[in-house]
Amino acid sequence: MAGTDFNVKYVAHLARLSLSPDEEQKLGAQLNNIIGFIEQLKSVNVSSVEATAHAVPTVNVTRADEVRPSISHEDALRNAPKQSNGLFIVPKIVE
Protein backbone atom coordinates (compact mmCIF):
# COMPACT_ATOMS: atom_id res chain seq x y z
CA MET A 1 0.00 0.00 0.00
CA ALA A 2 2.77 2.44 0.87
CA GLY A 3 4.05 4.22 -2.19
CA THR A 4 0.94 3.60 -4.23
CA ASP A 5 -1.49 6.13 -2.79
CA PHE A 6 0.64 8.45 -0.65
CA ASN A 7 0.80 11.75 -2.50
CA VAL A 8 3.25 14.03 -0.73
CA LYS A 9 2.20 17.08 -2.73
CA TYR A 10 -1.45 16.68 -1.83
CA VAL A 11 -0.83 16.06 1.87
CA ALA A 12 1.63 18.97 2.08
CA HIS A 13 -1.12 21.19 0.66
CA LEU A 14 -3.55 19.94 3.33
CA ALA A 15 -0.90 20.86 5.91
CA ARG A 16 -0.36 24.33 4.36
CA LEU A 17 3.31 23.60 3.78
CA SER A 18 5.04 24.71 0.59
CA LEU A 19 7.78 22.31 -0.54
CA SER A 20 10.44 22.73 -3.19
CA PRO A 21 10.55 20.03 -5.92
CA ASP A 22 13.69 18.62 -4.22
CA GLU A 23 11.92 18.45 -0.87
CA GLU A 24 8.91 16.76 -2.45
CA GLN A 25 11.14 14.11 -3.89
CA LYS A 26 13.26 13.53 -0.76
CA LEU A 27 10.48 13.76 1.84
CA GLY A 28 8.21 11.65 -0.37
CA ALA A 29 10.73 8.81 -0.48
CA GLN A 30 11.49 8.99 3.25
CA LEU A 31 7.81 9.10 4.16
CA ASN A 32 7.04 6.08 2.00
CA ASN A 33 9.67 4.22 3.98
CA ILE A 34 8.19 5.38 7.31
CA ILE A 35 4.64 4.56 6.23
CA GLY A 36 5.87 1.08 5.31
CA PHE A 37 7.18 0.79 8.89
CA ILE A 38 3.94 1.91 10.60
CA GLU A 39 1.95 -0.51 8.43
CA GLN A 40 3.07 -3.25 10.86
CA LEU A 41 0.24 -2.24 13.20
CA LYS A 42 -2.16 -3.85 10.73
CA SER A 43 -1.02 -7.23 12.05
CA VAL A 44 -2.20 -6.49 15.62
CA ASN A 45 -5.62 -7.79 16.60
CA VAL A 46 -7.44 -4.75 17.97
CA SER A 47 -11.02 -5.96 17.69
CA SER A 48 -12.87 -5.12 20.93
CA VAL A 49 -9.99 -2.93 22.18
CA GLU A 50 -10.94 0.59 23.27
CA ALA A 51 -8.86 3.49 21.96
CA THR A 52 -6.66 5.45 24.41
CA ALA A 53 -6.63 9.18 23.71
CA HIS A 54 -4.93 10.11 26.98
CA ALA A 55 -3.03 7.91 29.41
CA VAL A 56 -4.84 9.52 32.33
CA PRO A 57 -8.48 9.45 31.31
CA THR A 58 -10.13 12.83 31.91
CA VAL A 59 -13.49 13.95 30.61
CA ASN A 60 -14.82 17.48 30.13
CA VAL A 61 -12.54 19.49 32.39
CA THR A 62 -14.42 22.74 32.85
CA ARG A 63 -13.86 25.98 34.73
CA ALA A 64 -16.18 28.57 36.15
CA ASP A 65 -17.38 31.05 33.52
CA GLU A 66 -15.96 34.17 35.09
CA VAL A 67 -13.68 37.00 34.01
CA ARG A 68 -10.08 36.48 35.06
CA PRO A 69 -6.92 38.50 34.47
CA SER A 70 -5.11 37.71 31.23
CA ILE A 71 -2.13 39.09 29.33
CA SER A 72 -2.42 42.69 28.18
CA HIS A 73 -3.39 43.78 24.69
CA GLU A 74 0.13 45.08 24.24
CA ASP A 75 1.70 41.75 25.28
CA ALA A 76 -0.62 39.83 22.98
CA LEU A 77 0.53 41.92 20.02
CA ARG A 78 4.18 41.94 21.06
CA ASN A 79 5.25 39.26 18.58
CA ALA A 80 2.89 40.16 15.73
CA PRO A 81 4.58 40.17 12.29
CA LYS A 82 2.29 43.03 11.24
CA GLN A 83 0.01 45.15 13.40
CA SER A 84 -1.86 48.39 13.21
CA ASN A 85 -4.33 50.15 15.52
CA GLY A 86 -4.04 47.36 18.06
CA LEU A 87 -4.93 44.66 15.53
CA PHE A 88 -3.15 41.87 13.65
CA ILE A 89 -2.88 42.74 9.95
CA VAL A 90 -3.61 39.87 7.51
CA PRO A 91 -4.09 39.66 3.73
CA LYS A 92 -7.57 40.32 2.40
CA ILE A 93 -9.81 37.26 2.84
CA VAL A 94 -13.11 38.46 1.34
CA GLU A 95 -13.15 40.45 -1.89
Partner 1 sequence: MLNQLTISELTAKIAKREVSAREATQACLDRVARVDGQIHAFISHNDADALTQADAVDKAVARGVTLAEKPLLGVPVGIKDVLAVKDHPLNCGSKILGNFVSPYDATVIEKLKAAGAIIFGRLNMDEFAMGSSTENSAFGVTCNPWDTTRIPGGSSGGSAAAVAADEVIATLGTDTGGSIRQPAALCGCVGMKPTYGRVSRYGLVAFASSLDQVGPFSKDVRDNATLLNVISGYDKRDSTSVNQPVPDYTKALDGNIKGLQIGLPKEYMIGGLDPEVKSAVDAAVKKLESLGATVEEISLPHTDYAAATYYIIAPAEASANLARFDGIRYCARLDGADPIELYSKTRGAGFGPEVKRRIILGTYVLSSGYYDAYYLRAQKVRTLIRQDFLKAFEKVDAIITPTTPTAAFKIGEKSDDPLQMYLSDVFTISCNLAGICGVSLPCGFTTSPKLPIGLQLLGKPFGEEVMLKIAHAYEQNTGWHKERASIGERF
36: Cβ contacts below 8 Å, ≥ 6 apart: 2, 3
Restricted to residues 32-51, the positions that interact with partner 1 (CB under 8 A) are 33-35, 37-42, 44, 46, 49-51
Instruction: Select from 3, 25, 87, 88 the one that contacts partner 1 (CB under 8 A).
Output: 88
CA distance 87 to 77: 8
- The secondary structure of 30-47 as a DSSP string is HHHHHHHHHGGGGGS--T
- Give contact residues for partner 1 (rule: CB under 8 A): 6, 8, 11-20, 23, 26-27, 30-31, 33-35, 37-42, 44, 46, 49-56, 58, 61, 63, 71, 75-76, 78-82, 88, 90-93
